[in-house]
Amino acid sequence: MRIGILTAGGDCPGINATIRGVCKTAINYYGMEIYGIQSGFQGLIDDDIAPIDIEDMSGLLNLGGTILGTSRVKPFPQKGSNNNERAKQILKNIEKRKLDCIVCIGGNGTQKTAARLAELGINIVSIPKTIDNDIWGTDFSFGFDSAVGIATEAIDRLHSTASSHKRVMVVEVMGHHAGWLALYSGMASGGDIILIPELPYNIHNLGNVIIERLKKGKPYSIVVVAEGIQTDPERKKRAGEYIAEEIEYETGFETRETVLGYLQRGGAPSSFDRNLATLMGGHATELIANKKFGRMVALKGDTITSIPLSDTAGKLKLVSPQHNLIVEGKKMGICFG
Ligand code: F6P
């Protein structure tokens, strides 16, 4: 079989480990041929496709980013447009290159596009990746554990300045519309207040929590804020900056914000992500060998399995207010809003 592989959407730690997992298994075990598609779906549109050899797989397990490059190019027309030229071009190039299946490694947008390509009759197997952990149907996607580790270490370091200067330190983490990254890194780093998009907050309450901490001999606080929380749209501020300004106004305490940004997406994957990426890559290859197309590889408990792409496309996995980290965190006095 001849397989094309692409990576689309934001980069994250573990993508190269997945490419390695797919390609090594496909070439070594199944004797398949692999073609690398450059820059996500853009490479399928432009026919920017080249063979990948086993020698190309050296040094990938711990390498950040993606050797195939990525983009957020969407092959299907946006609402209100009938221009389907890109999708037609993709079909033409897959035919021309005689690709039996396309492996799409990506986040939510990629799963949606992959599902639509599958509807057009293209054989697709997809693999979920994102630091946001918001892909429906998989317990975890690789990239998340690495990003939690990076954010946790960064917040640990903010504790020094918070306690030395007796300041409120607000740290904004990524996560798009979901609070997974803020919840996991905030709890792991001992955040005093954790704000996620799934839970409402009251700014007066946040101020009171910080003032009460001062009364109990804690003249500093760490506030972990997910980038996707609700803010005043008129003020056009990032979530972290907005919350820092509001807290300073409410309490009169010196408050500083830090935005972790793309630091959370770069560099080497954690060992958990390396192994998850490797297992998911191997499973994707097995699906192809068994001609089980139109599916996304998923982690359920400690089992690697797969689900129909049509099940996950267009859905978002959000944090439940009953998540055990929230329930236990509240019992410990951590404020979630
Ligand atoms: O989906 C991953 C992510 O890093 C989000 O956490 C963030 O909101 C977004 O991508 C940033 O996207 P871009 O790379 O387009 O700036």
Over residues 120-139, the pLDDT tens digits come to 999 999 999 999 999 999 99
Q: CA-CA distance, 233 to 180, in Å (whole number)? A: 23
The token pair at 55 is: 């020698």
Over residues 228-246, the pLDDT tens digits come to 999 999 999 999 999 999 9
Q: CA-CA distance, 281 to 295, in Å (whole number)? A: 13
Measured from the CB, is residue 175 less than 6 Å from ligand 1?
Answer: yes
Q: Do 139 and 153 fall within a single domain?
A: no
Question: How many A from CA of 176 to the centre of ligand 1?
Answer: 7
Order of strands across the sheet that contains 124-128: 49-52, 33-37, 2-7, 101-106, 124-128, 295-300, 303-308
Q: Do 19 and 131 fall within a single domain?
A: yes
Classify residue 241: in a domain, yes or no: yes
Over residues 186-208, the pLDDT tens digits come to 999 999 999 999 999 999 999 99
Q: Which residues pair with 112 in a beta bridge?
A: none
Mean pLDDT over each residue of the chain, to the nearest integer: 97
What pLDDT band is residue 77 in, cutting at 50, 70 and 90? confident
Measured from the CB, is residue 106 less than 6 Å from ligand 1?
Answer: no
Nearest partner of 101 among 85, 117, 116, judged by Cα: 117
At 193, which CATH number? 3.40.50.460
Over residues 33-45, the pLDDT tens digits come to 999 999 999 999 9
* Domain final residue, candidates 232, 265, 298: 265
What pLDDT band is residue 293 in, cutting at 50, 70 and 90? very high
Domain interval for residue 245: 147-265
Q: Do 229 and 280 fall within a single domain?
A: no
Q: CA-CA distance, 211 to 214, in Å (whole number)? A: 5
In sequence order, the 6+-apart residues with CB closer than 8 A to the CB of 129 are 7, 9, 12, 14, 15, 18, 105, 106, 107, 141, 142, 143, 277
- At 84, the amino acid letter reads N
Q: Whose CA is nearest to atom 14 of ligand 1?
A: 10
Q: CA-CA distance, 129 to 131, in Å (whole number)? A: 7
Q: Do 213 and 184 fall within a single domain?
A: yes
Q: Do 129 and 26 fall within a single domain?
A: yes
Is the distance from CB of 276 to CB of 138 less than 8 angstroms? no
Q: Do 13 and 50 fall within a single domain?
A: yes
Measured from the CB, is residue 133 less than 6 Å from ligand 1?
Answer: no
Over residues 100-113, the pLDDT tens digits come to 999 999 999 999 99
Question: How many A from CA of 229 to the centre of ligand 1?
Answer: 15
Q: Which atom of ligand 1 is nearest to the CA of 132?
A: 6
Q: CA-CA distance, 118 to 83, in Å (whole number)? A: 19
pLDDT at 252: 97
What CA–CA distances, in Å, run from 270 to 37, 148, 265, 276, 292? Answer: 26, 10, 12, 10, 30
At 274, which CATH number? 3.40.50.450
Question: How many A from CA of 264 to the centre of ligand 1?
Answer: 10
Q: Do 253 and 288 fall within a single domain?
A: no
Q: CA-CA distance, 104 to 5, in Å (whole number)? A: 6
**Residue numbers annotated as active site:** 132
Classify residue 323: in a domain, yes or no: no
Q: Do 199 and 223 fall within a single domain?
A: yes
Rg, the chain, Cα only: 22
Classify residue 162: in a domain, yes or no: yes
State which of 39, 66, 70, 131 you would mutate to test the pocket of ligand 1, scoring each by most atoms of that ligand within 8 A of its C-beta: 131
Domain count, the chain: 2
Order of strands across the sheet that contains 193-195: 193-195, 221-226, 168-173, 255-259
Classify residue 334: in a domain, yes or no: no
Q: Do 17 and 132 fall within a single domain?
A: yes
Is 171's pLDDT higher than 80? yes
What pLDDT band is residue 73 in, cutting at 50, 70 and 90? very high
Q: Do 165 and 277 fall within a single domain?
A: no
Classify residue 137: in a domain, yes or no: yes
Q: Do 93 and 157 fall within a single domain?
A: no
What pLDDT band is residue 13 in, cutting at 50, 70 and 90? very high
Report how far Cα 162 is from the mean position of its chain's Cα atoms. 29
What pLDDT band is residue 1 in, cutting at 50, 70 and 90? very high
Question: How many A from CA of 137 to the centre of ligand 1?
Answer: 20
Average pLDDT for residues 243-255, to the nearest whole number?
A: 97
Is 226's pLDDT higher than 90? yes
Classify residue 45: in a domain, yes or no: yes
Is 82's pLDDT higher than 90? no
Quickly count: other Cβ atoms within 10 Å of residue 2's Cβ.
13
pLDDT at 84: 85
Average pLDDT for residues 159-170, to the nearest whole number?
A: 96
pLDDT at 76: 87
Q: Do 152 and 257 fall within a single domain?
A: yes
Is 80's pLDDT higher than 80? no
Classify residue 215: in a domain, yes or no: yes
Measured from the CB, is residue 132 less than 6 Å from ligand 1?
Answer: yes
Question: How many A from CA of 174 to the centre of ligand 1?
Answer: 7
In sequence order, the 6+-apart residues with CB closer than 8 A to the CB of 171 are 151, 154, 155, 158, 222, 223, 224, 225, 240, 257, 258, 259, 260
Report the percentage of the chain scoring pLDDT > 70. 100
Q: Which atom of ligand 1 is nearest to the CA of 107?
A: 1
Measured from the CB, is residue 182 less than 6 Å from ligand 1?
Answer: no
